[in-house]
Amino acid sequence: MARALVHMQATARRGEVIGIRALIGHPMETGYRPGADGKVLERDIIRRFTCRYNGEIVFSAELHQAIAANPYIAFYTVAVESGSLEFKWEGDRGFVQAETMPITVTG
Amino acid sequence: MTAIDKLDRSRRKALAGLGALLLVPVGPACATPEKMAAAIDAFTGAATPRRGGITLEVASLVDNGNTVPITVRVDSPMTAIDHVAAIAVFNERNPETGVAVFTLGARAGKAEVSTRIRMATSQKLVAVARMSDGSFRIHSADVVVALAACIEGEA
């Protein structure tokens, strides 16, 4: 299980644009590098990142080998209602990880 | 056949083998500007993107190509009728042209995305935004990389 970190504010006013920073520990092996034994290491990257706000997709990303190890993605969303944001990373070798952050919307 | 003949033949074989070894490409094939243009065409559906209204923010000189912070910003009110639908980033000389494709919508609130990328060598980066009305915007940046990424083995 990789370590995932999501930074965002826990409370917001209705209609406020909130910044979200998502980071996950992953080597993002390109499939072009030789390993210690001289053989090319098999590709192992995160292909897809999705952010759902109370079940609805508000942001997603398709990642390639050119994304640095430990992928960091920062983006924005509008706080519309209280509930939770679900973050999901999916990749090669059946890699799946999800993280959930609660949000309280006032006003 | 004399001993010298034999020696000569085996030396020739050895030399031929060495030649074949040198012909084997050492690294993965690099993408080219043409490949990047093709990838951008595939994203835009051959529509001509207009310049302006989009900024690809990246340092012009980076020390380490393994993690290069980039930010793409698009001027858009981000309303239901006028927003950015997607932002794609391409590179010219990594083994592959695609970097990332971000899918946004009116609910993003702000058309700004940041991430950290790898750069195999000094090259041009291109950001293309697809707007909700089907038009495209483009911005490119030239980056000089001191230490390359992607291709070298483990340290």
Q: What CATH number is associated with residue B92? A: 2.60.40.2470
Q: Is B87 a member of any domain?
A: yes
Is there a contact between A73 and A99 (Cβ–Cβ < 8 Å)?
no
Is there a contact between A65 and B117 (Cβ–Cβ < 8 Å)?
no
Residue of chain A whose Cα is closest to the Cα of B27: A32
Q: Is B20 a member of any domain?
A: no
Interchain CB distance below 8 Å, A30 and B107: no
Q: A47 to chain B, minimum CA–CA distance in Å?
A: 9
How many domains is chain B partitioned into structurally?
1
> Which residue bears the tokens 């990880």?
A97
pTM (2 decimals)? 0.85
Residue type, A84: S
Q: Is the pLDDT of residue B155 over 60?
A: no
DSSP state of A55: T
Q: Is B107 a member of any domain?
A: yes
Q: Which residues of B touch A35 (CB under 8 A)?
A: 153-154
Q: Is B155 a member of any domain?
A: no
Q: Where are the alpha helices (DSSP H) in chain B?
A: 3-23, 33-44
CB contact, 8 Å: A68 with chain B? yes
Tell me, what CATH number does A76's domain have? 2.60.40.10
Give the residue among B46, B47, B57, B51 at the shortest CA–CA distance from B89.
B57
Q: Is the pLDDT of residue B24 over 50?
A: no
Q: Is the pLDDT of residue A19 over 80?
A: yes
Per the structure, the complete domain to which residue A68 belongs is given by: 4-106
pLDDT tens digits for B90-145?
A: 999 999 999 999 999 999 999 999 999 999 999 999 999 999 999 999 999 999 99
Q: How many CA atoms lie within 13 A of B146 on its CB side?
A: 6
Higher pLDDT, residue A78 or B153: A78
ipTM: 0.93
Task: Please give the average per-residue pLDDT across B53-61, as a whole number.
Answer: 95
Q: How many CA atoms lie within 13 A of A38 on its CB side?
A: 1
Is there a contact between B120 and B151 (Cβ–Cβ < 8 Å)?
yes
Between chain A and chain B, how many beta carbons pairs sit less than 8 Å apart?
110
A44: which strand partners? A29
> Lowest-confidence range among A8-12, A29-33, B99-103?
A29-33
Please tell me the distance from the alpha carbon of residue A46 to that of residue A69, in angstroms, as a whole number: 10
How many domains is chain A partitioned into structurally?
1
Residue among B101, B107, B151 whose CB faces A62 most closely = B101
Task: Please give the average per-residue pLDDT across A49-56, as a whole number.
Answer: 96
Per the structure, the complete domain to which residue B81 belongs is given by: 28-147
Q: Is B109 a member of any domain?
A: yes
